[in-house]
Structure 1
């Protein structure tokens, strides 16, 4: 088995494969924007820009109605630099030198629209000028020669009104504000009329996004109208055309069936592009998110005369599927929803960066040949990447991620910083890209290592309730670890229902034992299952009456086998457990006897602490103990162990002995070693014969989650 050691942060993480000398983007830091607005009920980073010296990031925070600042003098250690309160909702920002131009929406409603463009000195935070633009703003772009600013005045429709379609007045337009030495000339503003152009609702254009090339030509997306317009600096139409449609094959079109099945199609799917970026003076790229009737799940390069130079089709989404980031519960809508796109040249290589809002992924494409882009990388982002900025002089790419998951127990909104490095690509950690058929995966839970083959078996949990699966993982292949096979778990030859697989271990005879956590409120029973090598459930073992008699909302979160005895870790205390104590439950497969010991959990600082995995190795039982906290709130994420000699089960119903345990590994340095925030759910642990520990995290099926899965090895102790 070969490994490369990646030194990031304070932890040495073993990633599969040799050390490769190549240029790649790797995340080096994450900044929670709530650090700038600790008193706000909700904070969000949406559109982001950088000062000319590349040392300060400026972002819009719509729910808090502020413009935020981040000091990235040291990009690996971003520092909160405060906010400026605004009189409305900031929609976009662009920067010239040290001056930020902020679009502020002050509309009373969808009919009574208003907004203004504010010029703000980044250093002093003083207002330098203000132009009333007469409508509800969206995107703001500054000409490369700093001669003018273009603003998309969307005047968006009310989706709850009538059938929610376009044809709702007032119509949108493009505002062009001249600049002289950075000073806005409001009186000379041009309101470029773009009505009468689109086939869809020509009377009601909704300009969404603007970008300007070095010839001062403005490309405008009209998302709901499925139309593109190119203007000159005087607001004259140079060209316009329909964004067209794409025939999609091999996609998942049914949501919330808790299965990843890519056998659907959507012929004639309108692109409905959102963001747009020039890649040279003749070509621009669009992110085809969709909104009203479309969303083609990919991105496109157009010539400004309307010729399609490149269409990604389903290839971008399929690549996302293979790294476990596919958002199943958005399948009937717009899939991964490519929403953002930007361009930058790094070390002579032109790149287009495409952000998938619902998959929380940034695609890195080499566009040296615009007709044949090459997908070089997929980078993990925060939840809902919305805006990007590139700082090629410093080798930096930055993403702003708008979703603030505070109310849902998910991650807060983060700005993430990536560096262009002469180093291996750290992400993804796990992929199914080598399989013959497109294979989606997610919600990885329990794991077990096969000492004979060096393979790892892992299970998904109840998020994919119609698709319970055992994944076969090869951690020794070059690059990321590879899912090389899947074993559907069946009952009577059909996908087994009512399972919440949280642990797996080998039965010593080619099959498996699986622990199901159970959810009585969802009619999912607690229990353990004997499963054949081909995935058929051969035996179901329910909990005994002594365990069923007590409160048990949280069930088994791992399973391991020692001789004839199965040991299961219970995540949280039950009704008969002392506070902060949980059971390690034993079941003797030869005699049918049950027993248990107790384990004392670490006192939680916030939330709760519980067990997530149990693995027997050598003379010890190893456990994952974790709190349910994310990011800076995370305290307890660790591997502990109990001497096997102390694991003597007492009969159920009596006094249970409390076993002593010791800390083996603090996992927080590993969880922050790739520049991200601390993920909540460390769910899987597999230990190789030489003591190498493989650890995995559960991405919750990309539901209120970025989809990021960490799958890494810890060297033998």
Structure 2
């Protein structure tokens, strides 16, 4: 056989071998999923109140790690190899205070654990996701409320809320711990004391600093962290302070605080129901402003710009030393601003609406000339470079929930649907946002491929008070289809959802 024929024959053999290797492989990621068709495929009850708060998924072991403070403080390990047959296979005891959050990267599980004395430093405990062995325990600031790995896996960040004692005799500094995994878990605690000289200017723009005798650094309460895809920048929600902070992860310094301002409920697009005693769900315009006060935050990089998605829950400070919330009917309204005050302060109007005592009496004469309620009953998108508002869902979450029959009128006088959790994911070539709403037991699904114009897709019913909202990409999923995992703190229920394939 001539050399040319031999070569041709060899090529044919190789092609045949390649053809065999390229036969369809089971569990290849589904490329054509419809993000408007998520449906429940699995559920698991791991306890009652305090169970199933936050979860993290490890694609290597196909295990879900779930915070469970329902009895003893622990992390439950759930077999996710078949999401339709979830089962607890192990529990990791923390032997300390409550576990507040977990995150997974590269075979490591990081758990944020508060001290039994909340004003004392907390810790991050790192475990091996395969053996469950403890790898390292690292001290953080007081009350680490959320933990996350950077996308490259090199850093662990915690938002250390630094809540005060009930009598405010001990008000720890709020901070963010930056832990370097590759440098034997060295930690740097970043606080916001450098902004003290900017305090007045920031407050004029909407930053809230009002704790008794508190410095700015003491009053700041970091809640939730998101990190840019290049792992160089972090953004932190300062919920009680109504702001977002920006942190340079290279220099390990806070560089910006973005006060978020207020939402105007007198605008028709923002129409809300502010009474739980009017015997009807009716969305109207009112002379009230909402304080955004976001809880969860997530970042989407688009066109070179970081867009920050926030769930605008709201939260009042309720301590022995300060009780912030008050009903509108218990305030004295300025008659020059509210000539119809007597009517407004009826229970069937906005008399029972919870507002803050700390805003609205601008000249300190005891007469309130503005009303500020907690949260914004929405999710928002902010420019991560300058903090400008790009988009707000206005009253759409309320109206969609009402149309679906999920709305809870008993919460109208407080924070309504209470958006709390948020997660972003990519399905095919579309970016999708999932917004957990604590008081109506539901998750809203939006197409956010263009972050300036999110588009509603569907509502999903969840367990009681969804706390954790977690997206697993098709690439990392045990089924090779996208998964949404929702954990609920009031009933300990975990639910798994997946979309249809087109």
TM-score, normalised relative to structure 1: 0.51
1:225 aligns with 2:238: no
1:109-141 C-alpha deviation (Å, 9 max, x unpaired) = 4xx323110001122111111001142110111
Q: Distance in 2 between matches of 1:266 and 1:119?
A: 49
Match of 1:550 in 2: none
Q: In the alignment, is the contact (CA less than 8 A) between 1:253 and 1:264 conserved in 2?
A: no
Task: Tell me the SS of whatever aligns to 1:282.
Answer: strand
Deviations 1:461-508 (A, max 9, x none): xxxxxxxxxxxxxxxxxxxxxxxxxxxxxxxxxxxxxxxxxxxxxxxx
Contact 1:45 1:402 in 2 (8 A): yes
Q: 1:370 and 1:338 mapped to 2: Cα distance?
A: 18
Unaligned runs of 5+ in 1: 1-19, 35-40, 405-412, 424-717
Measure, in 1, the Cα distance between the counterparts of 2:403 and 2:192. Answer: 41
Could you tell me how far 1:237 is from its partner in structure 2? Answer: 2.6
Tell me the residue number matched to 1:414.
493
Cα drift, residue 98 of structure 1: 2.3
1:244 to 2:261 alignment: yes
Q: Is the 8 A contact 1:336 1:358 kept in 2?
A: yes
**How many Å separate the matches in 2 of 1:42 and 1:272?**
25
C-alpha distance in 2 between matches for 1:266 and 1:374: 28
- The correspondence of residues 144-223 of structure 1 with structure 2, limited to 5 A, is 144-157=151-164, 161=167, 169-180=171-182, 185-186=184-185, 188-195=186-193, 196=196, 199=203, 200-201=208-209, 202-203=216-217, 204-216=219-231, 217-223=233-239
CA distance in 1, matches of 2:439, 2:485: 18
Q: How far has the Cα of 1:94 moved from its partner?
A: 0.5
Q: CA RMSD in A?
A: 2.2
Secondary structure of the corresponding residue to residue 401 of structure 2: helix
Q: Which runs of 5+ in 2 are unaligned?
A: 1-32, 210-215, 317-355, 357-373
For residues 258 and 155 of structure 1, the distance between their equivalents in structure 2, rounded to whole angstroms, comes to: 40
The 5 Å alignment of 1:94-493 reads 94-109=103-118, 112-157=119-164, 161=167, 169-180=171-182, 185-186=184-185, 188-195=186-193, 196=196, 199=203, 200-201=208-209, 202-203=216-217, 204-216=219-231, 217-233=233-249, 234-248=251-265, 249-263=270-284, 265=286, 267-280=288-301, 282-292=306-316, 293=356, 294-304=374-384, 305-393=386-474, 394=477, 395-404=482-491, 413-422=492-501
SS of 2:399's partner is helix
Q: Give the Cα–Cα distance (whole angstroms) in 2 for the partners of residues 291 and 42 of structure 1.
A: 20
After superposition, the Cα gap between the structure-2 partners of 1:21 and 1:210, relative to the gap in structure 1 and judged at 3 Å, is closer
> CA offset at residue 235 of structure 1?
2.2
Provide the rounded CA distance (Å) in 2 between the counterparts of 1:134 and 1:313: 35
Q: What is the rounded CA distance, in whole Å, between the counterparts of 1:21 and 1:127 in structure 2?
A: 40
Shift, 1:291, TM fit? 0.5
* Structure of greater relative contact order (alpha carbons < 8 Å, 6+ residues apart): 2
Residue 311 of structure 1 deviates from its aligned partner by 0.8
The answer on whether the counterparts of 1:107 and 1:136 sit within 8 Å (CA) in structure 2 is no
Give 1:239 shift: 2.8
Q: How far does residue 192 in structure 1 lie from its aligned partner after superposition?
A: 0.8
Answer whether contact 1:174 1:194 (CA < 8 A) is retained: no
For residues 66 and 256 of structure 1, what CA distance do their matches in structure 2 show? Answer: 41
* CA–CA distance in structure 2, aligned partners of residues 337 and 399 of structure 1: 16
Q: Distance in 1 between matches of 2:142 and 2:167?
A: 19
- Structure 1 residue 358, shift from structure 2 partner: 0.4
SS in 2 for 1:369: coil
What whole-Å deviation, never above 9, does each CA across 1:317-375 have from its counterpart, x for those lacking one? Answer: 11111111111111111000000111100122101111111011111110111110001
Question: Cα offset for 1:258?
Answer: 4.3
2:93 to 85, 89, 99: 85
CA distance in 2: counterparts of 1:194 and 1:52, whole angstroms:
36
Q: Is the 8 A contact 2:141 2:175 kept in 1?
A: no
Contact 1:288 1:296 (8 Å CA) reproduced: yes
Cα displacement (A) at 1:22? 8.0
Kindly report which structure 2 residues correspond to 1:622-661, keeping only aligned pairs within 5 A, or say none: none
Asked whether the 8 Å contact 1:33–1:43 carries over to 2, the reply is no
Give 1:35-74 correspondences, 5 Å limit.
42-53=49-60, 55-64=62-71, 65-74=73-82
Contact 2:141 2:177 in 1 (8 A): no
Cα deviation, residue 256, structure 1: 4.7
Cα displacement string for residues 145-169 of structure 1 (whole angstroms, at most 9, x for unaligned residues): 11111111101245x648xxxx961
**Do 2:176 and 2:190's aligned partners in 1 also have CA atoms closer than 8 Å?**
yes
Q: CA deviation at 1:23?
A: 5.5
Q: Distance in 2 between the 1:135 and 1:354 partners? A: 28
CA contact (8 A) 1:107 1:114 kept: no
What is the alpha-carbon distance in structure 2 between the residues aligned to residue 90 and residue 392 of structure 1? 26
1: distance between equivalents of 2:145 and 2:35? 38
The secondary structure found in structure 2 opposite 1:46 is: strand
Larger fraction in helix: 2
CA distance in 2 between partners of 1:268 and 1:42 (Å): 33
